[in-house]
């Protein structure tokens, strides 16, 4: 089987759209027809739905693959669906699904990923891998590498956000630094954003989609449904095909290196940043030297490393200072907590040094 999509030659932005779940044949075909009218080329639908708890709608199963085949014949759209185990892979390939993706729960399981990779050995089909549910770039890379070793030449990543206990406006917190780090380590890997699962509600879709485009992501996977509020799963995060078109038209697409403009000003600013970064590194080195001196003093006087009152006063002082700057309290808190942790690590080493 050879798919028409070439992940190595994406025309940005690549758009994959369709309902969260295939519910009925009529719903699937209606969704596909409406998306075809809106100019979408890749149709997605969940055939198997991994649910957190039993007794929920877990997808129509293999029957839905017949509907996807009808979509291909009737509309010419390429089809995409999620596979979570070997049987899913074999069924999807048997029914001619064009593109596969692996979900967040599966990508977090190296055993499941290896089984899927083995099942896809030698198959020429695009495969997309969603980030694991927890923010672990190594685990994400490992899932992609297993497929790469199986000979999958068209690989892509999907950023769908990360689970968290902390309260957030998002269903899954974006933590954009994780896909940015993935791109740094795997620069040729296409990355698609799934704003539907990041947001969990349709009101935030536009802003998250724009953020993904500003970060130079290669495309978007957005859940669409003819009647979203009546959807059998994830109703709040789905939009109509018409709303999808409106969203896509609202996006401002920027380019990494525009033609015909001088980059002198940009290079000057980058030069300044490099200088400031060098100064920051030098100051941090001096701070650690002072911290080492404190460690030596505490060791000589049999004092504990952690001085809670002192640390709290430092953090409070810098958080108060941040109000007079354009630096967020969140950034200042993370920065000084990281510096404090490094200082503790240095002092611990000093305490453990043998005389």
> Alpha helix (H) ranges present in the chain?
25-37, 63-75, 86-94, 104-107, 110-119, 137-149, 177-185, 195-199, 205-214, 241-250, 264-300, 308-322, 329-352
Angle (CA) 257-220-180 rounded to 5° is: 55
CATH 1.20.59.10 residue ranges in the chain?
264-352
CATH 3.20.20.70 residue ranges in the chain?
7-250
Which tens digits make up the pLDDT trace of 150-193? 999 999 999 999 998 888 999 999 999 999 999 999 999 999 99
pLDDT of residue 56: 76
- Burial of 105 per CB tally in 10 Å (0-12, 13-18, 19+): middle
2 pLDDT above the threshold of 50: no
Which tens digits make up the pLDDT trace of 261-309? 777 888 888 989 999 999 999 999 999 999 999 999 999 999 998 887 8
The matching CATH number, chosen from 3.50.50.60, 1.20.120.350, 3.20.20.70, 1.25.40.10, for 7-250 is 3.20.20.70
Which tens digits make up the pLDDT trace of 65-117? 999 999 999 999 999 999 999 999 999 999 999 999 999 999 999 999 999 99
- Domain made up of 264-352: CATH architecture: Up-down Bundle (1.20)
Rounded to an integer, the average pLDDT of 28-50 is: 96
């Amino acid at each position: 089987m050879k798919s028409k999509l070439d992940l190595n030659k994406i025309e940005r932005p690549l758009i994959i759209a369709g309902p969260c779940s295939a519910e009925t044949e009529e719903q699937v075909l209606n969704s596909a027809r409406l998306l075809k009218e809106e100019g979408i080329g890749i149709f997605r639908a969940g055939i198997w739905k991994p649910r957190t708890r039993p007794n929920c709608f877990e997808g129509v199963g293999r029957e839905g693959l017949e509907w996807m085949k009808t979509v291909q014949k009737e509309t010419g759209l390429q089809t995409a669906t999620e596979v979570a185990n070997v049987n899913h892979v074999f069924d999807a390939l048997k029914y001619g699904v064009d593109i596969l993706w692996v979900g967040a729960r599966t990508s977090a399981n190296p055993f499941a990923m290896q089984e899927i990779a083995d099942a896809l050995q030698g198959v020429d089909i695009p495969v997309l891998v969603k980030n694991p549910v927890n923010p672990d770039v190594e685990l994400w890379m490992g899932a992609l590498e297993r497929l790469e070793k199986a000979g999958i030449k068209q690989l892509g990543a999907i950023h769908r956000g990360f689970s968290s206990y902390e309260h957030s406006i998002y269903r899954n917190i974006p933590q954009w630094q994780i896909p940015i780090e993935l791109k740094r380590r795997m620069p040729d890997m296409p990355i698609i954003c799934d704003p539907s699962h990041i947001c969990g509600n349709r009101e935030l879709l536009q802003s998250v989609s724009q953020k993904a485009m500003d970060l130079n992501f290669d495309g978007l996977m957005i859940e669409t449904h003819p009647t979203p509020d009546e959807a059998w799963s994830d109703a709040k995060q789905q939009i109509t095909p018409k709303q999808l078109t409106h969203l896509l038209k609202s996006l401002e697409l920027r380019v990494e290196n525009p033609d015909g403009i001088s980059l002198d000003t940009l290079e000057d600013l980058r030069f300044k940043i490099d200088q400031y970064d060098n100064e920051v590194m030098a100051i941090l080195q001096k701070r650690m030297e002072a911290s080492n001196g404190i460690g030596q003093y505490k060791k000589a006087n049999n004092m504990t490393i952690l001085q809670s009152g002192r640390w709290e006063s430092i953090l409070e002082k810098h958080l108060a200072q941040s109000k007079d700057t354009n630096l967020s309290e969140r950034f200042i808190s993370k920065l000084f907590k990281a510096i404090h942790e490094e200082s503790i690590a240095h002092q611990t080493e000093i305490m453990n040094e043998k005389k």
